[in-house]
């Protein structure tokens, strides 16, 4: 029996994991470096199949790739080179840095604490240079480990209640999230990070998919148990979080669902011991879908959330046109990206800000966003330094392309406080707060709406990163004091919950 409609569970999790000044101050948690989890999932008994090391250049402008989609029924199938591009530019190791205690392997997409709890698996039919199978992406070796041989796509088709994008996809990438890898630092709040960190990765994956000509969609509705069993993950530790079907073939796979015997494959332990945070497993279980019937009912039908037309003074957007925008290709921008560690307090232009917001919010192709272009998160901004715009608090009216001023003022100190008393949101040119009407969302989607709203925020946040770096600006994701954010933007944001935060501006040399 599914517990998804009992949204009390998501509320309980959300309220229990809010940050406040007092909760952060009183938290006794410390980082136990002697028990730090390793950053990769390793199957020691399986030899990885190397992926092509040469990444093809698409030349497609990042600002186009993040804003556009390939129409869903465009005949296309990825080859091994395209798969290598997709994996490298979404979850590959792009930089590494030595520090006294060890080494950090930075990956293509931003991730809380650089802990990289999201793993990628491939489920495919026969492709050019890749046999049908279920594979794990081994980021450390840049290779694929085959977990199952044969075409198992029908398992995903059943699990997603025949979601058309999955039914016709030559390849589906399954993203999982590993509790302990992130909870080592962030404890119970990690379940929110699953959505954020999976989301930034998906922003890259969707953009690269577009750049290589593959239709792609984010699928959040699936029978959890079937997908977890297909990958043979231990759901107490690691869970499937999202699916991304890629490409389109008119003939769906013929084979009936295959036997799903457990694989019993050894994996290297992450740490000497793991600490369990049951609240997260509770919200995961209560947001799990148990039958394809339930999945079919779950998807689509995005609720309209309360968003009154502007009554305050508005600032008209001035986004750069395709001709005028910087055309740095997506692969260059992804490799250039890295979270700003300090912002210069220098202004950005309104054209730059408008371009970032416009490009990042043109719609996420997802099974929970129907009609296309719907969005669950509303964006609120604190503007410190944007040429020609009075500093203050604003709300973004996406459909109208305007910012409505909620209150003018210099709010650098307040922004620094709201962003967990860090300098980054105080020094940025603008801070974008994602707020959502959780009541309506959970009513419509049940607890699983909580996964969806976090994931959408991560994707749009990831696109903001890319649209900043495409314009040679900087960005960073940030965490926040939940209720203080709502209070700051109220009365407009009354009743909404803080979901995510991205700071934008000129990076300063550290
Ligand atoms: C959702 C999210 C929240 C983050 N929160 C913070 C934060 O509160 N403070 C901070 O300094 N960095 C924050 N970061 C930046 C990460 O530390 C950074 O992404 C990670 O170290 C990887 O480095 P990179 O983004 O340069 O590749 C956040 C990143 C994300 C994606």
Instruction: Please say if the pLDDT value at position 510 is more than 80.
Output: no
Instruction: Please say if the pLDDT value at position 100 is more than 90.
Output: no
**What is the pLDDT, as a whole number, of residue 54?**
85
Which amino acid residue places its CA nearest to atom 20 of ligand 1? 114
**What is the pLDDT, as a whole number, of residue 425?**
98
**What is the pLDDT, as a whole number, of residue 253?**
84
Share of residues in the chain with pLDDT > 70 (%): 99
Phi, psi at residue 106, to the nearest 5°? -80, 145
pLDDT tier for residue 124 given thresholds of 50, 70 and 90: very high
pLDDT tens figures, 264-301: 999 999 999 999 999 999 999 999 999 999 999 999 89
Q: How far is the CA of 463 from the centre of ligand 1 (A)?
A: 14
pLDDT tens figures, 144-197: 999 999 999 999 999 999 999 999 999 999 999 999 999 999 999 999 999 999
Which residues form ligand 1's pocket by a CB distance below 6 Å? Answer: 106, 110-114, 196-197, 200, 338-339, 420, 422, 424, 476-479
Ligand 1 atom at shortest distance from the alpha carbon of 108: 27
Residue 422 CA to its chain's centroid (Å): 23
Q: How far is the CA of 479 from the centre of ligand 1 (A)?
A: 9
Q: Which distant-in-sequence residues (6+ apart) come within 8 Å of 496 by Cβ?
A: 378, 435, 436, 437, 438, 486, 489
Residue from 39, 464, 476 to probe ligand 1 pocket by mutation (most atoms less than 8 Å from CB): 476
Least confident among 245-254, 370-379, 413-422, 438-447: 245-254
Which amino acid residue places its CA nearest to atom 8 of ligand 1? 478
What Rg value do the Cα atoms of the chain yield, rounded?
22
* Tokens linked to 296: 């079919």
Residue from 113, 343, 418, 422 to probe ligand 1 pocket by mutation (most atoms less than 8 Å from CB): 113
- Residue 377 is inside which H or E element, if any? strand 377-383
What domains sit in the chain, N to C, each tagged with a CATH number? Answer: 51-298 (3.40.109.10), 314-507 (3.40.109.10)
> What mean pLDDT comes out for the span 136-143?
98
Q: How far is the CA of 222 from the centre of ligand 1 (A)?
A: 29
107 vs 139: CA distance, rounded Å: 9
- Residue 452 is inside which H or E element, if any? helix 448-470
**What is the pLDDT, as a whole number, of residue 55?**
80
Q: How far is the CA of 502 from the centre of ligand 1 (A)?
A: 10
Q: How far is the CA of 444 from the centre of ligand 1 (A)?
A: 31
**What is the pLDDT, as a whole number, of residue 130?**
97
Q: How far is the CA of 430 from the centre of ligand 1 (A)?
A: 17
- Mean pLDDT of all residues in the chain? 96
pLDDT tier for residue 490 given thresholds of 50, 70 and 90: very high
Q: How far is the CA of 118 from the centre of ligand 1 (A)?
A: 15
Instruction: Please say if the pLDDT value at position 340 is more than 90.
Output: yes
Which amino acid residue places its CA nearest to atom 17 of ligand 1? 113
Beta-sheet pairing, 402-408 with 430-436: unpaired
Instruction: Please say if the pLDDT value at position 258 is more than 70.
Output: no
Ligand 1 atom at shortest distance from the alpha carbon of 500: 1
């Amino acid at each position: 029996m599914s517990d998804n409609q009992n949204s009390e569970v998501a509320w309980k999790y959300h309220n229990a994991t809010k940050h406040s000044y007092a909760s952060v101050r009183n938290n006794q948690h410390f980082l136990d470096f002697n028990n730090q989890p390793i950053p990769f999932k390793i199957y020691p008994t399986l030899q990885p199949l190397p992926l092509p090391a040469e990444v093809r250049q698409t030349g497609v402008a990042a600002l186009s790739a993040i804003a556009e989609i390939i129409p869903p029924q465009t005949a296309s199938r990825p080859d091994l080179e395209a798969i290598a591009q997709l994996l490298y530019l979404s979850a590959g190791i792009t930089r590494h840095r030595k520090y006294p205690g060890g080494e950090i392997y930075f990956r293509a997409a931003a991730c809380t604490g650089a802990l990289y709890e999201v793993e990628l698996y491939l489920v495919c039919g026969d492709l050019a240079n890749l046999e049908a199978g279920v594979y794990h992406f081994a980021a450390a070796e840049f290779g694929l480990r085959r977990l199952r041989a044969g075409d198992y796509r029908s398992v995903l088709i059943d699990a997603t209640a025949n979601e058309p994008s999955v039914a016709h996809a030559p390849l589906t990438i399954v993203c999982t999230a590993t509790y302990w890898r992130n909870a080592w630092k962030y404890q119970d709040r990690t379940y929110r990070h699953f959505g954020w960190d999976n989301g930034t990765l998906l922003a890259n994956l969707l953009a690269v998919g577009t750049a290589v000509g593959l239709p792609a969609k984010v699928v959040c509705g699936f029978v959890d148990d079937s997908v977890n069993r297909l990958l043979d993950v231990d759901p107490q530790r690691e869970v499937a979080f999202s699916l991304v079907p890629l490409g389109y073939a008119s003939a769906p796979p013929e084979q009936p669902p295959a036997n799903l015997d457990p694989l019993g494959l050894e994996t290297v332990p992450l740490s000497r011991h793991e600490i369990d945070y049951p609240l997260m497993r509770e919200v995961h279980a209560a947001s799990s879908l148990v039958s394809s019937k339930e999945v079919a009912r779950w998807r689509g039908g995005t609720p309209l959330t309360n968003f009154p037309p502007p009554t305050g003074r508005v600032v008209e957007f001035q986004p750069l046109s395709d001709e005028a925008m910087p055309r740095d290709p997506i692969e260059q921008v992804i490799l250039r990206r890295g979270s700003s560690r300090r912002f210069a307090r220098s202004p950005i232009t309104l054209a730059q800000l408008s371009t970032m917001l416009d490009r990042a919010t043109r719609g996420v192709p997802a099974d929970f966003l129907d009609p296309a272009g719907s969005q669950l998160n509303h964006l609120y901004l604190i503007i410190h330094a944007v040429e020609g715009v009075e500093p203050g608090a604003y709300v973004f009216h996406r459909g109208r392309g305007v910012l409505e001023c909620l209150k003018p003022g210099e709010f650098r100190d307040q922004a620094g406080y709201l962003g967990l008393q860090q300098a980054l949101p105080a020094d940025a040119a603008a801070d974008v707060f994602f707020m959502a009407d959780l009541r309506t969302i959970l009513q419509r989607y049940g607890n699983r709406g909580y996964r969806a709203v976090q994931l959408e925020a991560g994707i749009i946040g990831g696109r903001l990163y890319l649209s900043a770096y495409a314009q040679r600006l900087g960005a960073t994701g940030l965490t926040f004091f939940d209720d203080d954010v709502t209070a700051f933007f109220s009365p407009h944001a009354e009743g909404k919950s803080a979901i995510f935060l991205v700071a934008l501006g000129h990076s300063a040399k550290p």
